[in-house]
Structure 1
């Protein structure tokens, strides 16, 4: 009798208890547009906002690798709105990482999630390699094809639109990047103004005619810390010296802003702050600012409106920002402001 009573109580409790909530699953992606899905999306953490997956492409079949990266597999990171509704459609911003950064770096996830927490916006961070420079290389040599621009613009963009609930029009897309990614964002927006309605640069190296930026690009080609194996000094844009530097000049975003007319444009940079503190990052930012000033002068001359946050030593821009390169508080404030511009537009 007691056993029957106990079983009855257990049954009643089971009926009255709410069923356990199943964890939301990330979307599953199908191959397409020249991309083969090599690992399906998985959540990065228990917040169920950011997921990572990987693809293979013949456009960049053998990227040079940073530590922990797998041969032939390109990681792509996607952050969804905190209140993502699978039945709705959302605008997308493409966020291009710098050098020698990667899309799955924890700080990139923090910056994106903080800036878009209550914003109906999807953010996509594609792999750009430690030294990809968001370009189709002219002399890849033994590295094989390194067509980063084709990979991102002709494959990743339509692939994302086919697999996620996006607003798949120019008005529904923006592109922004940090450092090398700032170059990439302007480079892509200038080449394909039909794809993007807003472009932004966070401390980007925008002037390939600048001798110091040329030296920085060449350094990334030759430095094993930028990825292995290393490549030749003329691999990406050809020889960096006159009269063989035609590709450098033609691909320099600062001097080719005319196609940005009608697009939202935003520049962000510090001045390096105290050059005796973290001098390498201070100098990087100081010189990146010079390329932003050249870009701003060409935008002004072309009569193209733009926003320019030239925040000096960072003291008035964000707590913890000291105006240096790759400084998370500065980049976080940049992204917060840029997302605000997007959503108001």
Structure 2
């Protein structure tokens, strides 16, 4: 083989390699060489593990922080003491030179932000949507509140942790639209309570709020029983806590905090905000009866919330989808049923992006 031919072939191979590299870099979905961001300690949060991609899709990363507001969260299996996992899903072609709106998605009980199904729901709903989604840790029983009597558990100031630390931390470390207009909040079950609770307390932070089968009425005796059950059940996290740890004693005349913190009856501060409710009726109550009854009772709290919104003259969207047949394939109206929650999230993302 002549020297000239070998040289020409090497030049050709280099040209092909250069073209392939150029094409891969120009693809909006090419993220193989992209590293997740590096975060710095801010707003009272100490980064205990830097962001790492959760899979080869390179859209969702997880990192962890510690905070003096909740230094010792109760732990589910696999969670590290004193650390809070936070999961972030970026747009498919995230560009740090642009600014993106952010939705905060609050998980239910006894769930966690890094559960695989939460990642699927978020990634499916936001594919090709210019939106950042942040899922903070809410513990198995945090109830997105500053506990009134944490006792030996130590400070459990979940509301302060999320609203005064996580939100400014995210805005400082990612390319966000750091205004009320650029932020929405939504949650499932316990997280639906948390989303309304946070939006009502801090309407200056959010332009849209949503609940997927949330337990929105703390004046409802069944919801109170459910909250108490999460406090004393080791399956909600260890160690268990007392029945008065979060909102105080759940019985009259000592239940003032329960009444004051109930989202259903305190909707007036949502005026001017987008509001959306999603819930089924449990479908066939003889099939998966626990999840069926949970959803049926969640629907009652959504109806109470809707009545207060109507009385206050606040517009809202309400997807009351019954047994789920017309809502999504595979949805049978049960609580924590992924096809139902996926359809909820798909619709909610559409609402906030249109707004």
Q: Same fold (TM over 0.5)?
A: yes
Question: Which whole-Å CA distance do the structure 2 matches of 1:304 and 1:281 have between them?
Answer: 30
2:110 equivalent among 89, 94, 100: 100
From 298, 310, 314, the counterpart of 2:308 = 298
Matched, 1:139 2:139: no
* 1:327 equivalent in alignment to 2:337: yes
TM-align CA RMSD: 1.5
For 2:220, which of 210, 227, 235 is the aligned residue? Answer: 210
1:169 maps onto 2:185 in alignment: no
Aligned with 1:75: secondary structure? strand
Match of 1:54 among 38, 61, 64: 64
Q: How many residues align?
A: 344
Report the Cα offset of residue 119 of structure 1.
0.9
Q: 1:163-214 deviations in whole A, cap 9, x for unaligned?
A: 0000000000000000000000000000000000000000000000000000
Structure 1 counterpart of 2:29: none
3-state SS of paired residue (2:62): strand
Which residues of structure 1 form unaligned runs of 5+? none
Equivalent residue in structure 1 for 2:121, among 94, 108, 111: 111
Cα distance in 2 for partners of 1:26, 1:223 equals 37
The residue number in structure 2 matching 1:12 is: 11
Which residue matches 1:128?
A: 138
**Which of 294, 297, 307 is the aligned partner of 1:284?**
294
What is the DSSP-based 3-state SS (H/G/I as helix, E as strand, rest coil) of the residue aligned with 1:114? helix
Q: Which shifted more, 12-21 or 47-56?
A: 12-21
**Shift in Å at residue 58 of structure 1?**
0.3
Q: Does 1:36 align with 2:68?
A: no
What's 2:354 paired with? 344
2:275 counterpart of 1:265:
yes
Q: TM-score scaled by structure 2?
A: 0.94
Distance 1:228 1:42 in 2: 27
Cα offset, 1:83, TM superposition: 1.9
Q: Deviations over 1:276-334 (max 9, x none)?
A: 00000000000000000000000001010000000000011111000010000000000
- 1:65 is the counterpart of 2:75: yes
After superposition, residues 172-183 of structure 1 pair within 5 angstroms as 172-183=182-193
Superposed displacement of residue 10, structure 1: 7.5
| Partner residue in 2 for 1:243 | 253
Deviation at 1:16, TM superposition (A): 2.7
Alpha-carbon distance in structure 1 between the residues aligned to 2:5 and 2:191: 65
Mapping 1:85-96, distance limit 5 Å: 85-96=95-106
How far does the alpha carbon of each residue in 1:139-166 deviate from its partner, in whole angstroms, 9 at most, with x for none? 0011000000000000000000000000
When normalised by structure 1's length, the TM-score is 0.97
